[in-house]
Chains A and B, each alone.
Chain A
């Protein structure tokens, strides 16, 4: 009897067949298409907690609000910072205190909230600027006087003072998003995680907490449509997990761990593009000038000479990141070409000996992240080499971000920290935290300079890029001359995406979802 002719079905063969079918059905089908076109699957490092641009908590929320709510302008992808109109047909700075805008005539809000008008622009901007609303982003409109409505679609934004960050870190960001006045009023003044009156090229179709957010093309968006029918955003906190998810085919785009960049560039996953983008963030070693031994300026200077910044950064970032010359990243006004004080261990040793501080033990507080610990260990070794003992104290994020707060007591013991701030593409975002009124808030080094405060205020209202460049360079000089800071790095962002995809990325690697396109 031939095999083909043997069609008897035994109990055993039936069970085996069912088992095989079950296993086969379990094998992951890599479906990446919806009924309307391709699906883009991306990773974000945090889930959303609010979709109100006024009260956004993290960048992933901004990435989403920027595509579901139209702003007057939006950041363009590319290697240099720029913007293009979105809801605005035209927008122009008439003089340092006045911006004129004309809305496009056919931008509608979903859920029956009608057409976007200049009244909505006035409401949205004044809402975020109004101190009574307690938006953490009110500073983005710090010099707003009012928004004047000229007619249904046009108006004027009046400022009390010129405001240099307006076109870099205010209008193109979620702080420039236009919401429906009627919708927000009906919601009682605040929106949560359920967006109402969406107006962007995509709309939020589904949010499954801790699982994914699904955006779909807005059928009523009359301008250039996004290339992907759906965008699935998966919140994955851990970068290594995201890398594995990508390698398993579950993601099309993700940021990578800094420690993985070299490996991924050498041996990328199949059909993958790996790129590095310079980050705007800045990482530094800070010294609290109100606590011994750093109340001694020579001790601060000695540490500046003692730390081999290149060794610190190479070790912590696996050679992927460059050392920083200050807190303002390359490409922005105020970026310095070099530091004032660099690695000179002999000089550091001499200074410490002269001060009679050899053998002093210092506590270095850090966040419990791998790269911070590595950086701290190299600093520890550098300082040991010049006669100082360093005890590294790791803190979880909940503890770390309160160490220097004036409400607590720890700032009186805080000696040295390695910290990191992220920022927007305007130098004012870097310097704002080191003024005297920030002492005990975010200025944990308790750096205090009247000249710094004065120049910082000038930088906010100076519109001439060349003059701003001088101001912000001087601000960093003041920080470094006072000895409180050793500028370490701006870090680097590693990104990988499928070859079949052209990722729309801002110069620092943040995604612009509307500009992701099939290759």
Chain B
């Protein structure tokens, strides 16, 4: 098992390195001068040049790349030149908001997707199955920013049940949760549909398995068979799917963060790219890539723990 985990981690390290190389190349290929954007029209050419030097932009790209990698290995993501704050601090203070959004999205998708999938499988071919099928596809098809805008208009503006903007009062869990409901729904709604479909398919396969037939032969109730024996097996593909889903939710969080004026990594990166704030872009992408890879490695390991067939196939 340890060998399996180490292999996954090694693969994760390679993914992070490749992702960072791609990000670095993209950042430096796009046109635009961060100094003139940051300092505005009042800045003299000398001031702009001084800022370029402070940002290391006067160096060749390969040297900037090596410097960045060297600094990362020393645990230093650099300093944000405009506010003079450590990049790591800037990124870390935004990360919990995006994680909360993703966790909220997962909660919506798991809490609704798994039961819907189970019900659809149990009622296979019936009216309920068809309704759930239509709903699931509809949820997958609607883009998250549309959900964000409409949920905001309905629940915040028209009904005024929930707040429209911000992340809530610091230290007030209720306020934080109030501010999380709509954005996390926007991020997670599509995944309710995905998980519902995956669980249904997996459950149908599992319900045909020999051990389920044996359980029925022993006279166990259908509920116990479905929710205790079958679900345990059927839910395994969902864990892997969620690992990928977290990456998708991280990227779609930018819409929710902009529409709901929430802090978070997505908005941080979006704004940083707009003003060519390269240290923030690099730092934020690195942190989220590491997070995404670790989550996927954890998901793979969890599946390996729960399903010995996966372990043995890897070995």
Summed over the interface, the residue pairs from A and B with CB atoms below 8 Å come to a total of 143
- Give bound CA distance, A105 to B39, whole Å: 36
Complex contact A192–B30 (CB within 8 A): no
Contact stretch, chosen from B123-131, B216-224, B257-265 = B257-265
Selected contact of A241 from candidates B40, B165, B177, B274, CB within 8 Å: B165
Q: Does B64 contact A (CB under 8 A)?
A: no
Complex contact A26–B94 (CB within 8 A): no
- Give bound CA distance, A421 to B152, whole Å: 33
- Give bound CA distance, A27 to B162, whole Å: 6
Q: State which residues 35-58 of B face A: CB under 8 Å.
A: 36-47, 50
Q: State which residues 121-161 of B face A: CB under 8 Å.
A: 152-153, 156-157, 160-161
B92 to chain A, nearest CB (A): 11
Contacts of A190 in B (CB 8 A): 84
Complex contact B261–A421 (CB within 8 A): no
Q: Does A401 contact B (CB under 8 A)?
A: yes
Complex contact A49–B177 (CB within 8 A): no
Q: Does A13 contact B (CB under 8 A)?
A: no
Contacts of B90 in A (CB 8 A): 209
Residues of A in contact, count (CB < 8 Å) = 49
Complex contact B258–A212 (CB within 8 A): no
Q: Does A405 contact B (CB under 8 A)?
A: yes
Contacts of B153 in A (CB 8 A): 244
B263's nearest neighbour on chain A, judged by CB, is A210
- Contacts A209-B263, A236-B165; A244 near B156 (Cβ below 8 A): yes
Complex contact B38–A57 (CB within 8 A): yes
Complex contact B39–A247 (CB within 8 A): no
Selected contact of A134 from candidates B36, B46, B268, CB within 8 Å: B46
Q: State which residues 89-125 of B face A: CB under 8 Å.
A: 90, 93-94
Q: Does A250 contact B (CB under 8 A)?
A: yes
Complex contact B50–A245 (CB within 8 A): no
Which size bracket describes the interface of B in this complex? 35 or more
A45 to chain B, nearest CB (A): 11
- Give bound CA distance, A410 to B156, whole Å: 46
Q: Does B181 contact A (CB under 8 A)?
A: yes
Q: Does B273 contact A (CB under 8 A)?
A: yes
Complex contact A398–B94 (CB within 8 A): no
Complex contact A26–B271 (CB within 8 A): no
- Contacts A49-B82, A136-B42, A237-B258; A28 near B31 (Cβ below 8 A): no
Q: State which residues 271-296 of A face B: CB under 8 Å.
A: none
- Give bound CA distance, A401 to B274, whole Å: 11
A359 to chain B, nearest CB (A): 29
Q: Does B200 contact A (CB under 8 A)?
A: no
- Contacts A136-B40, A136-B47; A234 near B34 (Cβ below 8 A): no
Contacts of A81 in B (CB 8 A): none
Selected contact of B274 from candidates A134, A244, A245, A397, CB within 8 Å: A397
- Contacts A136-B39, A210-B94; A248 near B261 (Cβ below 8 A): no
- Contacts A26-B178, A237-B271, A397-B275; A248 near B83 (Cβ below 8 A): no
Selected contact of A244 from candidates B33, B41, B164, CB within 8 Å: B164
Complex contact A248–B165 (CB within 8 A): yes
* Binary interface encoding of chain B residues 256-294 relative to chain A, with 1 for a CB under 8 A from any of its CBs, else 0: 001111011001100101111000000000000000000
Q: Does B313 contact A (CB under 8 A)?
A: no
A510 to chain B, nearest CB (A): 16
A245's nearest neighbour on chain B, judged by CB, is B165
- Give bound CA distance, A209 to B92, whole Å: 11
Contacts of B67 in A (CB 8 A): none
Q: Does A50 contact B (CB under 8 A)?
A: yes
A177 to chain B, nearest CB (A): 16
- Give bound CA distance, A193 to B40, whole Å: 19
B112 to chain A, nearest CB (A): 15
Q: Does B32 contact A (CB under 8 A)?
A: yes
- Give bound CA distance, A236 to B274, whole Å: 15
Contact stretch, chosen from B6-14, B166-174, B225-233 = B166-174
Selected contact of A245 from candidates B93, B164, B275, CB within 8 Å: B164
Contacts of B38 in A (CB 8 A): 57
Complex contact A210–B267 (CB within 8 A): yes
Complex contact B164–A402 (CB within 8 A): no
* Binary interface encoding of chain A residues 47-83 relative to chain B, with 1 for a CB under 8 A from any of its CBs, else 0: 0011000000110000000000000000000000000
- Give bound CA distance, A245 to B258, whole Å: 12
Complex contact A28–B267 (CB within 8 A): no
Contacts of A234 in B (CB 8 A): 165-166, 261
B156's nearest neighbour on chain A, judged by CB, is A248
B165's nearest neighbour on chain A, judged by CB, is A245
B89's nearest neighbour on chain A, judged by CB, is A209
Complex contact A399–B41 (CB within 8 A): no
15 A-B contact pairs sorted by A residue (CB < 8 Å): A25-B174, A26-B174, A27-B178, A28-B160, A30-B160, A134-B47, A192-B84, A241-B261, A244-B157, A250-B165, A398-B33, A398-B275, A399-B32, A401-B32, A401-B33
Question: Which B residues are closer than 8 A to A by beta carbons?
Answer: 30-34, 36-47, 50, 82-85, 90, 93-94, 152-153, 156-157, 160-167, 170, 174, 177-178, 181, 258-261, 263-264, 267-268, 271, 273-276
Question: Which A residues are closer than 8 A to B by beta carbons?
Answer: 25-28, 30, 49-50, 57-58, 134, 136-137, 139, 190, 192-193, 208-212, 234-238, 241-242, 244-245, 247-251, 396-399, 401-402, 405, 407-408, 410, 421, 433, 441-442
